Every structure is written in C-alpha cells, then in structure tokens.
Amino acid sequence: MGRIVQKYGGSSVADAESIKRVARRIARSRADGNDVIIVISAMGDTTDELMDLALQVSPQPKSRELDMLLTTGERQSAALLAMALSDLGVDAVSYTGSQAGVITTPTHGNARIIDITPGRVEAALQQGNVAIVAGFQGVSQTTKDVTTLGRGASDTTAVALAAALGADYCEIYTDVDGVYTADPRIVPSARRITQVGYEDMMELAACGAKILHLRCVEYARRENVAVHVRSSFTDKPGTWVRAHEDISKDSTMEEAIITGVTHDRGEAKITIVGVPDQVGEAAAIFTAVAEKDINIDMIVQNVSRLSDVSTDISFTLPMSDGAKAIRALEEIKDRVGFREVLYDDQVGKVSAVGVGMRSHPGVTATFFAALAKEGVNLQMISTSEIRISVVVGVDDVDRAVRAAHTAFGLDATQEAVVYAGTGR
Ligand code: ADP
Ligand code: ASP
Ligand code: MG
C-alpha cells in the first residue's frame, strides 16, 4: 500500500468517454490499496478556447480576470472526474487549487507555488476518498486572488502535491509513452528514454520539450520526487525522471552523449541596430527589458570590425512578450542613442541537450555539420556545458531537428506512437 499522485493531461481527458476511461484507471489504482491523489488538466483544448474567448471580448484582458476565467477549465474536469469515479463506486472529492492549499505568489498568469497546505486533501484521503485537485492554479494569500501557474503547469501542481503529501512517486499521464529523444510529432523515429536525470530533463524542458513543465522538474529535483511520465492510453512503462545517482546502473549501455534534441517555436528575436560602443549601453537596454518582467534567453553582441563606433545586439525572448519589449525599447531609444529596433518572430530554436557532452569534444561540429548538410542557416548560437542551441528560420526547424537527431545516432527502428489527436 502506497501513496501516489497521478496527473492526467488535457489530451487524456478530451471528452466524456476519456474521463470515464481515466476514472476506470484510477479505480484500479485505488483497488490496489493505494492512497490516490489526482491532479487534472482542463479537457482537451479548453484553456486555448477560453483564451480565444477572452480575446474576442477584450484585446488586452485584465490578468486577474483572465485567471478567474482560465481556472474554470480545470475545475470543470475535476468535478466531472469525481462524478465518473462515484459511478464506479469510488468515493472521490474534487478541490480547486485554492481549496487544496496551493499558495502562490500574487503574479497572475505565471505565479509560483510558495507553499502547500494540503489539510483538506489529507483529511479526504484519511476518510478513504480519492482526492482530485484542479491543476495549474492556486491562490495568493496577500491579494486573496486566484492565480494560474503558467501554461502546462498542472505538471507542477502534481509534483508539488507529491512532495507536500509525502507520496512515493508522481505519475504524469499523457498522450505519448514517455520522454523521447525528440518530439515524436516531428521525429517519428524518436526513441523513448527509460530513465533520465533531473539535470538533463530540466534542460530538455527549458529548451522546449513540452512533455514536462520546467518548474515541475525544478520542483522534483529540489524535493527529490521521482516522476514517472507515461501514457494514459496503455499500460506500458514510461520514463523515470530521478536523481542521476539513483538511475539504475545495471544497464550495460554506455551513457549517451546527447540525451535529446528539442525545438521551440515560441520565441522571437529582437535586434537593436547601431548601439554606441561604450560602457553601460547593454546595461541600459537590458534593464529596460527586465523592468517589464521579461525573461530573455540568448544574447549575441558583436562589435563590427568595420565600424568602431557602434554594435548590434540581438536577443531572443518569449513571443508573447514581444510587443511589450518593443515598447520598452522605443522609450529609451533616444536616451541610449541606438538607431532602430527590429523584430522577427519567424524563428525557432533547436537545441541538442546532454550531460554527456561535458566530457566529449566534437558535439558542436557534428551538430553544425548536420544542419549545414540540410542547408539550414544559423542566425544565432549559444552554448552551455550541457547544451548547444541555435536560432534558425521557422521553416527550417523540423528539418534541423530531424537532421540533428539522425546525426547524433538517436534514431530508433520503431515508430513512436502519439495516441491523442493533433492538439494545439
Ligand atoms: P498533456 O496534455 O498530457 O499535458 P502535452 O501536450 O503538454 O500533454 O505534452 C505531450 C506532448 O509533448 C506530446 O504529444 C509530444 O508531442 C510533445 N513533446 C515534445 N517534446 C517531447 C519529448 N521530448 N518527448 C515526448 N513528448 C514530447
Ligand atoms: N490547462 C492548462 C494549459 O493548457 C494547464 C495544463 O494543462 O497543464 O496550459
Ligand atoms: Mg502538458
């Protein structure tokens, strides 16, 4: 008898029939004698549809009201799942994030969990219920308002609850058989990874592998929660995400140099042209952007050898922050004295990730040669100890991912299965 947190993503509960299918699966876990806590996402594309609706009503909806609206998606599926379980003779109670004690910062749209006080969930479990918690949401104790934790963040709710409730592990149920060496929708020959360390998984998530929310992996690492990513459509084992030292050493396979290839089409590139080449200019530019709470990613600056008076600075940022960043930069343009700001959202980032590359030279050369052979032009390059990322034209992304995947010897002979529809 154990205690398990299970999270079901939107693609696993897309319609009434799927909710009943998931309920049968939960009933089996409960019948095995486990305490079961469920974290549920909104059904299918509900969150996107609610967002579209908001934008039809108001082009720039107030973030507080947007959170009030978006949190209803998870509330809906939580209540429906409780009904389906009850019909199977399983006692279940649904809770909003706030009722479940998910306490967050007051920031709307991207709040962070700062504490979990799961008194009601614990009491429900003690009374023999399955506790169902609406994912992706919480409440701020300072503003008393409902918040959301960012797109895809039901994963984070699940791991945070697993840590707070002392669960044995956290299962993330989705529409693929686990974490793959690339997105199986783009690379059908992608290979399922049986076990992956937190560090690799964090980098994969940060570079666009949307199978797990980044903060969920950060949380799991901090609290040492083992996460099992698997399909809700089969009983196959998936991918275990755990500390590197806990990964079983019985495997005779040599550690891979590259764990996976990821892509991200959600970023845009800003180029500031003609920045005076003097001390303090970069500081002024990035302070203006930071003051708007915008996270920047890659930065490239190169003083032109031809002109010794000015330089261009390019950086990438989430596309959703593009307009805000342009406004902030236009405001300081005359003071800083640069010439113009260019914006390009027809780009994508492709990354090769792997802790194994620390001790292996030549990874960059293999990556760039594979892209060159495909005729892919590199607009920006950035590297870390365990990652190489490039920015390419958006139409080159798929080809670049496939070419790199093959070049690193990651192709499997079997095709990966995506069980749900196309999703958004
Ligand atoms: P859920 O609705 O269960 O939260 P998501 O759509 O958020 O599901 O995440 C699952 C999807 O993530 C898969 O369908 C797959 O297309 C995509 N994906 C991207 N990168 C990877 C990867 N490296 N391994 C597995 N899936 C990936
Ligand atoms: N429903 C939310 C989203 O679509 C949260 C989640 O599914 O994890 O982003
Ligand atoms: Mg998800």
User: Is the shortest distance between the CB of 71 and ligand 2 below 6 Å?
Assistant: no
pLDDT, residue 423, reads 56
**Residues of the chain by 3-state class (helix, strand, coil), percent to 5:** 35, 25, 35
Instruction: Say which residue the tokens 């029939």 belong to.
Output: 17
pLDDT, residue 284, reads 94
pLDDT, residue 179, reads 98
Instruction: Say which residue the tokens 């989705």 belong to.
Output: 174
CATH number at residue 394: 3.30.2130.10
- Asked if residue 419 is part of any domain, the answer here is no
Whether 247 and 293 share a structural domain = no
Tell me, in angstroms, the distance from the centre of ligand 3 to residue 61's CA: 24
Task: Give kind and range of the element (H or E) at residue 393.
Answer: strand 387-393
**Do 124 and 133 meet the contact criterion of CB atoms below 8 Å apart?**
no
d(Cα 275, Cα 356) in Å, to the nearest integer?
38
Instruction: Say which residue the tokens 């006692």 belong to.
Output: 91
User: Is the shortest distance between the CB of 418 and ligand 1 below 6 Å?
Assistant: yes
Task: Give kind and range of the element (H or E) at residue 314.
Answer: strand 310-318
- Asked if residue 420 is part of any domain, the answer here is no
User: Is the shortest distance between the CB of 177 and ligand 1 below 6 Å?
Assistant: no
Copy the structure tokens of residue 128: 């023999």
- Asked if residue 262 is part of any domain, the answer here is no
Whether 328 and 244 share a structural domain = no
d(Cα 196, Cα 411) in Å, to the nearest integer?
17
- For residue 408, CA distances in Å to 323, 384, 398 come to 37, 18, 16
Whether 241 and 382 share a structural domain = no
Tell me, in angstroms, the distance from the centre of ligand 2 to residue 201's CA: 19
pLDDT, residue 90, reads 98
Could you say which ligand is closest to the alpha carbon of residue 419?
1
For residue 95, give the 3-state DSSP assignment. Answer: strand
User: Is the shortest distance between the CB of 175 and ligand 1 below 6 Å?
Assistant: yes
Q: What angle do CA 255, 261, 267 make, to 5 degrees?
A: 145
Tell me, in angstroms, the distance from the centre of ligand 1 to residue 176's CA: 7
Residue 287 is assigned to a ligand binding site: no
- Asked if residue 415 is part of any domain, the answer here is no
305: amino acid identity, one letter: R
Whether 275 and 402 share a structural domain = no
Which is the closest atom of ligand 1 to the Cα of 186? 16
Residues in the chain: 424
Nearest residue (CA) to ligand 1, atom 15: 183
**Do 389 and 207 meet the contact criterion of CB atoms below 8 Å apart?**
yes
User: Is the shortest distance between the CB of 109 and ligand 1 below 6 Å?
Assistant: no
pLDDT, residue 301, reads 87
Whether 339 and 351 share a structural domain = no
- For residue 69, CA distances in Å to 64, 81, 218 come to 9, 20, 27
Tell me, in angstroms, the distance from the centre of ligand 2 to residue 153's CA: 6
Task: Tally Cβ neighbours within 10 Å of residue 128.
Answer: 10
Whether 247 and 102 share a structural domain = yes
Residue 174 is assigned to a ligand binding site: yes
Per-residue pLDDT of 166-192, as tens digits, reads 999 999 999 999 999 999 999 999 999
Whether 245 and 283 share a structural domain = no
Kindly write down the DSSP assignment for every residue of 230-259, as one continuous string.
EESSS----EEEE-GGGS-TT--SPPPS--
| Of 112, 184, 180, residue with least CA distance to 148 | 112
Residue from 173, 174, 419 to probe ligand 1 pocket by mutation (most atoms less than 8 Å from CB): 174
Domain end, chosen from 344, 359, 384, is at 344
Whether 211 and 333 share a structural domain = no
Could you say which ligand is closest to the alpha carbon of residue 260?
1
- Asked if residue 165 is part of any domain, the answer here is yes
d(Cα 318, Cα 143) in Å, to the nearest integer?
27
Whether 177 and 312 share a structural domain = no
Whether 228 and 242 share a structural domain = yes
Whether 171 and 285 share a structural domain = no
Q: Which structural domain, as residue segments, surrounds residue 318?
A: 267-344
**Do 269 and 391 meet the contact criterion of CB atoms below 8 Å apart?**
yes
- Asked if residue 52 is part of any domain, the answer here is yes
- For residue 91, CA distances in Å to 70, 172, 360, 377, 409 come to 27, 22, 54, 57, 49
Which residue(s) pair with 5 in the sheet?
37, 170
- Asked if residue 323 is part of any domain, the answer here is yes
Whether 280 and 140 share a structural domain = no
- Asked if residue 21 is part of any domain, the answer here is yes
CATH number at residue 318: 3.30.70.260
pLDDT, residue 247, reads 84
Q: 380-384 and 130-134 as β-strands: parallel, antiparallel, unpaired?
A: unpaired
CATH number at residue 180: 3.40.1160.10
pLDDT, residue 252, reads 47
| Of 213, 215, 221, residue with least CA distance to 242 | 221
User: Is the shortest distance between the CB of 44 and ligand 2 below 6 Å?
Assistant: no
**What's the average pLDDT block by block, 10 residues per block, for the chain (424 residues)?**
95 97 97 97 98 96 97 98 98 98 96 97 98 98 98 98 98 98 97 96 96 98 98 97 82 75 97 90 94 91 71 94 95 93 97 92 95 96 95 98 97 92 59
Number of domains in the chain: 3
